[in-house]
Amino acid sequence: MHLVVCLKQIMDPELPPGDFRVDAQKKEAVRGSANLVISVFDENALEVALQLRDAAGGGKITALCVGPESAVDALRKAISMRADEAIRIREEEFPALDAYGTARLLAAALRKLEPADLVFCGREAGDWHGAIVGGLLAGELQRPFVSLMAGAQRAGDLFVLRRQTDEGWETVECAGPAVISVTNDDANQPRIPKVKDNMMAFRRQIPAWGAAELGINAAEINGPNAALEFASLGIPKSERQCQVIGGESVEEKAARLAQKLADLHVL
Amino acid sequence: MTPTREVYFNIEHIWVMYVLFAASLAIFARGWYGLWRRWRMGQPAARTGPLGARLGRALRQVFSQQTLLKRYRAAGIFHALFFWGFVVLFLATTVVFIHQDLGIHIMQGWFYLIFQSLIADLFGAFAILGILMAFGHRYIYKAKRLKPDTRNDATMLAVILVILATGFIIEGMRIELTHDAWAAWSPVGRAAGAALAGRLSMEAMRGLHRAVWWFHAVMVFGFIAWMPYSKLRHLITSPANIYLQNLGTRGALQPLDLEKAERLGVSRLEQFTWKDLFDLDSCTECGRCEVNCPAHLSGKPLSPKALILDLQKYMHGMSMDAAGAAADADAPSPLVGPIIHEETLWSCTTCRACMEQCPVMIEQVPKIVDMRRHLVMERAEFPDDLQAMVRSLEARAHPYPGAQASRTDWMAGLKLADLAAEPDAEFEVLFWVGCAGALNKRNQEVTRAIAQVLTRAGVKFAVLGREEKCTGDPARRIGYEFLFQQLARQNIQTLDRFKVKTVVAACPHCFHCLKNEYPQLGGNYTVLHHSEFLEKLVADGRLKPEGGEQQGTVTYHDPCYLGRYNGVYDAPRNLLGDAQGAPPAEAEMNRANALCCGGGGGFSFMEEKSGTRMNQNRARQLLATGAETIGVACPFCMVMLEDGVKSVAGEKALRVLDVAEVLEQRTRG
Amino acid sequence: MKNVVALLIAAPGGLRRTEAEVLSAGRRLADGLGGTLAAVILGAAETSWDGDAAAYGADRVVRVEHAGLAEYQTEMMVEAARRACAALQAEVCLAPSSTYGLEMAPVLAQKLGAAVVTDVIAASGEAGQVKITKPVYGGKANSELIARKAPLVLVMRARSVAVLERKAGAAAETSKLDVQLDAGLAKSRIVERKQEASAGARLEDARIIISGGRGLGGPDGFKLLVELAGLLGGTVGASRAACDQGWVPASWQIGQTGKKVAPDLYLAVGISGASQHLVGISGAKHIVAVNKDEKAPIFETSEAGVVEDYRTMIPALIEAVKKHRAAQGK
């Protein structure tokens, strides 16, 4: 069983609002002192893959990341969590990638890595929240796409997936090979690596593939999303004024809050 | 006639005694050999030298019985009584040996009268008194800390009592039978003899003397033989353990060489150092650790005493063949889990009360951290809350998952030298704010108060702003040495880059870590807690706490990492005293005995899952002083006690203020 | 760009708010572009939605009926949608604002060769261009995109679109599109469906939501919220932190990656107010917060707040509400 997990390295999404700035010219967030981390749902995806492999008692997990040199850290993190292989796709060779371009790069890498039974993505990246690369990748590879998975199990030739829906949960059976996207769940909280795995990962060389290795023409990589004009990026202002409900005792505060709720016609 | 006595008066076939003695010594030696083999399984530790320094300190501590007399004075007194009784009787027996067996006749003259007769007689009596008090303490007063298993104690005490009592009976009968001219020098023995003389004929007494003499001898040899197999072994191991005490920096955990270490932490008993194993056999089961343990007092599954005794029992029962076998790092631990439950290890606040209390200097906290290291670094198994904390430390270098504040929020409206923004700013001292002081809303107020007071005193200080990272203390205490060293190295680099020499830290955990643990990694700075630095500013007249409002009556809660770990008890009290014009009221447990607020060792980031709440227990003690304000000097204590006070006594019961806030109010112009 | 298509996945019962939102967004776009709005209803059997779709502004209603669309299945649904879009020469296609819509959108876009944007909170048309507003960085920033080229696939964020007033009696040209779908397309199949037990209405439809976060400290705190919700006729939600800890089911999650909600009252208890969470409640009419940290950012977004520990506050509030009701009843 070969499982491939696509990871994205992003600026720490939990950067406090007070430290968050945008560069209106470059139309991106200013990194400042923020760390780079694996996009959180991608870590959930890796965890689901790890659990699936461990339950099967064997198999291989390859972590893939389209990113700059710094993305090696994200891939090392994946190795420290016990992914077997990691490959970086040199983003620097493909400036201004759109979602189609990213999906096509991943698809090209996957063709080199075949056979892959399941390809995992996070439900969306924690910076741009696109939630589209997984579906586009499935399209590129002409494979079924199942999104918002919390967990996966193997049953013979089929994968049994647990999907989050608006109503609750669905169990989806899917024949491999397929592309699935993973959402967070308490069952797929990313594991903390053991220290020896951390140190092993630190020494690991991470191969990088570029246009030459992937047999791709960098100029033609982008798709229709590149035609969208990115007009502006700004920080919205909140103008609500909060009325603090005070009181001498909890009971008094509670009585006033109840009155407030009645005034709002929600009681 | 030279005062002396006949050694084997009325005793025949004395060779039998030598045979019995040799047999008891053989059993004794065999027992110790077994223990020694077990200690030897442990890893190396530099705890034997320098001889002079250690011996001097140990003799002083052992012979003064100071660790016992300091607390639980009654128990300390009776222990001192039989300790000194034993010492004197042992010396007296040695004198007999030298006199009789070596033929060096020292047991005569004034020495015989004063030491061998009077002193030995009186100290024997003291020992009996001590034993009786010990019985009373256990079976009449029923001291909680001595439970469970007092049956062994009863046998032990009874044996000692019988030995001492029969000793006096033999002496008394010898005095009667020999019409000893020096009887007045042995008042207790003479009294025993006189009591018997009226009831027995001389012939009967002669026979009885012989029988009791042999009985006494057998009891003594039995006692010797029994020693290594029971807690009586502490007669030897406890003083030895005091000799082997940690002479290094108090409270600094041993660093691991992560590059070279084959194992990270302790998953098998033999991975402890030999000194750790020796600790286990030094325990006297006195329970002082347990009754001062915040975890035990709040019903958590940790008792430092039970922990040591469980380890001891496991060590004694261990097959020596299995020990030392090269263990696969991934093999399940026979120790952590089966013998010491994970939940036990996650109940410790590392408050050090157990180590402070232990009269024989057993080191419980490092053992707990060693086993935590195994859980965290080798197994990556630890409570979810702490995993969230670790993730936050890794991604954001602070232990508060979900924190919405930034490290510079508290500075709003203050004019400060922020080195992250102005790297060339000049400064004399670096104000180390700490994550709690920067990110926790309540403690931001304390941070502002400190900055304001420093400004008022005209101190040229700077802060690291966004360049400051967690010192790594929470990581280290939960056993994540790897993460601790990463964070510490980054901070040392930053501090060295700004050529920092003096650091004033607002958090005792940061303070301890910077002061006592960073030197292990090459970070050497003069580190002061803000209470120490502010006290000095007041003493130097740079701050005059004369204005503003007073706080009414104040009590003070000692933070573990300021008090027990670093011995800073007076500076915060003096600050409160200066500000109030009267020393703070003392709570039920204070200074070195202070009860932990429940916020250390990772607990500030973890829910208490069992028992009662530690912070409420401490809040009750502080509320009982009747003070209107609780003075604290630690951001964790602040959060814990504010919450504790509110839960116990309601919203507006009383204020919890940092000593710096009290000073800030009193130095307003 | 003139031809706007709103995709609706048929479901039992009447047209729901989710569909009304998609139609309303489509109507506004079509008006801005000077074009028309076609509603495409994908399903296995006839629904009662034709009239409703017209009432919310559809100029045309196209029913795509096929037995293979009875159960949602991505590849089948996408293929049916692709055929409908081709037949209608769709230039802007609005996918449903649901987890299914989110799943279909990129796959459909790939087949149509379309640009695709999800989680859109505003889309307006003017002079042949579509202006798109999409929050990014967990709601800390908004991005503005302009699409000049068709085709374009959009997914509007649920509960971010104001529903148009329903025009009863509005008529639309209704037709049926026959499609042949190869059942072999379906590589996955739903074998079980489980509705998560939640007291009260669905979060998306709830009028009152009592929501808890990390500050609750554990699953027990939620029992108090459930009690309060029961009293107020509300539904209990949660922040991601609480769901990730396993204190409550993941389906209770509200925020960037959870449910988007638009209740009349959102009572946030022990929720600090990270931007990722606020994203999910921007549609709430009134936000009220209970938090013991007076500086928690949630207060900046709330119109009223109480600084108090929920452990004492919620029981007191339950009592106060009962008392208030009793007084009203007199």
Q: What is the pLDDT of residues B299-317, one digit of tens each?
A: 999 999 999 999 999 999 9
| Min Cα separation A218/chain C (Å) | 19
Q: Is it the case that residue A152 has pLDDT exceeding 90?
A: yes
* Pairwise CB contact (< 8 Å): A29 & C142: no
Q: Shortest CB distance from B378 goes to which of A32, A37, A194? A: A194
| ipTM for this model | 0.92
Determine which helix (DSSP H) or strand (DSSP E) holds C276, and give its type and residue range. helix C275-278
pLDDT tens string A96-122: 999 999 999 999 999 999 999 999 999
| Lowest mean pLDDT, pick from B319-323, B576-580, C146-150 | B319-323
For residue C115, the chain A residues in CB contact (below 8 A) are 223-225, 227-228
* Pairwise CB contact (< 8 Å): B646 & C241: no
Residue in chain C lying closest to B388 (CA): C245
Q: Is it the case that residue C309 has pLDDT exceeding 60?
A: yes
Q: Can you tell me the mean pLDDT for C175-200?
A: 85
Average predicted confidence (pLDDT) for chain C: 91
SS3 B518: helix
pLDDT of residue C199: 60
For residue C300, the chain A residues in CB contact (below 8 A) are 238, 240, 242
Q: Can you tell me the mean pLDDT for B635-663?
A: 88
pLDDT of residue B493: 97
SS3 A194: coil
* Pairwise CB contact (< 8 Å): C308 & A250: yes
* Pairwise CB contact (< 8 Å): C296 & B404: yes
Q: Shortest CB distance from A146 goes to which of C188, C264, C323? A: C188
| CB A183, CB A164: distance < 8 Å | yes
| Lowest mean pLDDT, pick from B26-35, B145-154, C153-162, C318-327 | B145-154
Q: Is it the case that residue C1 has pLDDT exceeding 90?
A: no
pLDDT of residue B397: 94
Model confidence at B323, in pLDDT bands (50, 70, 90)?
A: low
* Pairwise CB contact (< 8 Å): C294 & B384: no
* Pairwise CB contact (< 8 Å): B384 & C245: yes
| Contacting subunits of B (3+ beta carbon pairs below 8 A) | A, C
Torsion, CA B91, CA B95, CA B100, CA B102, rounded to 10: 100
Record the pTM.
0.90
* Pairwise CB contact (< 8 Å): A254 & C313: yes
Interface test with C, best of B391, B404, B605, B651 (most C CBs within 10 A): B404
Q: Is it the case that residue B325 has pLDDT exceeding 90?
A: no
- CA distances (Å), C272 to each of A240, B651, B655, in order? 16, 21, 24
Q: Is it the case that residue B635 has pLDDT exceeding 70?
A: yes
Model confidence at B24, in pLDDT bands (50, 70, 90)?
A: very high
Q: Residue-wise over B234-252: b if at least 16 C-beta within 10 A, else e?
A: beebbbbbbbbbbeeeebb
Model confidence at C197, in pLDDT bands (50, 70, 90)?
A: low
pLDDT of residue B331: 80
Structure tokens at C34: 């000077």
Q: Is it the case that residue C96 has pLDDT exceeding 90?
A: yes
| CB B391, CB A192: distance < 8 Å | yes
Model confidence at B651, in pLDDT bands (50, 70, 90)?
A: low
| Min Cα separation C294/chain B (Å) | 8
DSSP state of B374: I
Residue in chain B lying closest to C247 (CA): B384
pLDDT of residue A167: 78
Q: What is the number of CB-based contacts under 8 A between chain A and chain B? A: 57
Q: Is it the case that residue C271 has pLDDT exceeding 60?
A: yes
Structure tokens at B45: 């530790």
Chain centre to alpha carbon of residue B577: 29
pLDDT of residue B277: 97
The string of DSSP letters for B557-589 reads ---TTTTTTT---HHHHHHHHHHHTSPPBPPSS
Q: Is it the case that residue B55 has pLDDT exceeding 80?
A: yes
Q: Shortest CB distance from B482 goes to which of A18, A37, A195? A: A195
Residue in chain B lying closest to A247 (CA): B651
| Min Cα separation B404/chain C (Å) | 7
| CB C294, CB C317: distance < 8 Å | no
Q: Is it the case that residue B502 has pLDDT exceeding 90?
A: yes
* Pairwise CB contact (< 8 Å): C313 & A259: no
Helices B120-139 and B151-178 pack at an angle, to 10 degrees, of 150
Which distant-in-sequence residues (6+ apart) come within 8 Å of B367 by Cβ?
B266, B272, B276, B279, B307, B311
pLDDT of residue C285: 85
Model confidence at B652, in pLDDT bands (50, 70, 90)?
A: low
pLDDT of residue C245: 81
Q: Is it the case that residue A39 has pLDDT exceeding 90?
A: yes
pLDDT tens string B236-274: 999 999 999 999 999 999 999 998 888 999 999 999 999
Model confidence at B575, in pLDDT bands (50, 70, 90)?
A: very high
Q: Is it the case that residue B650 has pLDDT exceeding 80?
A: no
| Min Cα separation A10/chain C (Å) | 10
Q: Is it the case that residue A54 has pLDDT exceeding 80?
A: yes
pLDDT of residue B328: 65
- CA distances (Å), C117 to each of A41, B15, C130, C154, in order? 19, 103, 12, 5
- Distance in angstroms (rounded) separating the CA atoms of residues B452 and B667: 10
Model confidence at B326, in pLDDT bands (50, 70, 90)?
A: low
Unique residue bearing structure tokens 């991608």? A42
Q: Which residue has the higher pLDDT, C196 or A164?
A: A164
Average predicted confidence (pLDDT) for chain B: 91
For residue C196, the chain A residues in CB contact (below 8 A) are 167-169
DSSP state of A220: G
* Pairwise CB contact (< 8 Å): C272 & B404: yes
pLDDT tens string A243-252: 899 888 889 9
Residues within 8 A of A (CB atoms), B 385-444 only: 387, 390-392, 395-397, 402-406, 408-409, 420
Model confidence at B141, in pLDDT bands (50, 70, 90)?
A: confident
Angle in degrees, CA A152, A153, A156, rounded to 5: 140
- Distance in angstroms (rounded) separating the CA atoms of residues C258 and C159: 12
For residue B444, the chain C residues in CB contact (below 8 A) are 295
| Min Cα separation C247/chain B (Å) | 12
Q: Shortest CB distance from C192 goes to which of A124, A170, A259? A: A170
| Contacting subunits of C (3+ beta carbon pairs below 8 A) | A, B
Q: Is it the case that residue A85 has pLDDT exceeding 60?
A: yes
Which distant-in-sequence residues (6+ apart) come within 8 Å of B668 by Cβ?
B547, B548
| Min Cα separation B263/chain A (Å) | 9
pLDDT of residue C198: 61
Model confidence at B2, in pLDDT bands (50, 70, 90)?
A: confident
- CA distances (Å), C115 to each of B221, C36, C91, in order? 95, 20, 11
CA torsion through residues C180, C184, C188, C190, sign: positive
pLDDT tens string B330-367: 788 999 999 999 999 999 999 999 999 999 999 999 99
Q: Which residues pair with C142 in a beta bridge?
A: A234, C135
Average predicted confidence (pLDDT) for chain A: 93
For residue A133, the chain C residues in CB contact (below 8 A) are 106
pLDDT of residue B143: 80
Q: Which residues pair with C152 in a beta bridge?
A: C92, C115
Length of chain B: 669
For residue A265, the chain C residues in CB contact (below 8 A) are 264
Angle in degrees, CA B437, B440, B445, rounded to 5: 60
- Distance in angstroms (rounded) separating the CA atoms of residues A237 and A240: 9
Q: Is it the case that residue C17 has pLDDT exceeding 90?
A: no
Reference A232, options C66, C145, B128; nearest CA is C145
- Distance in angstroms (rounded) separating the CA atoms of residues B21 and B97: 13
Q: Is it the case that residue B324 has pLDDT exceeding 70?
A: no
Q: Residue-wise over B469-508: b if at least 16 C-beta within 10 A, else e?
A: bbbbbbbbbbbbbbbbbbbbeebbebbeebebeebbbbbb
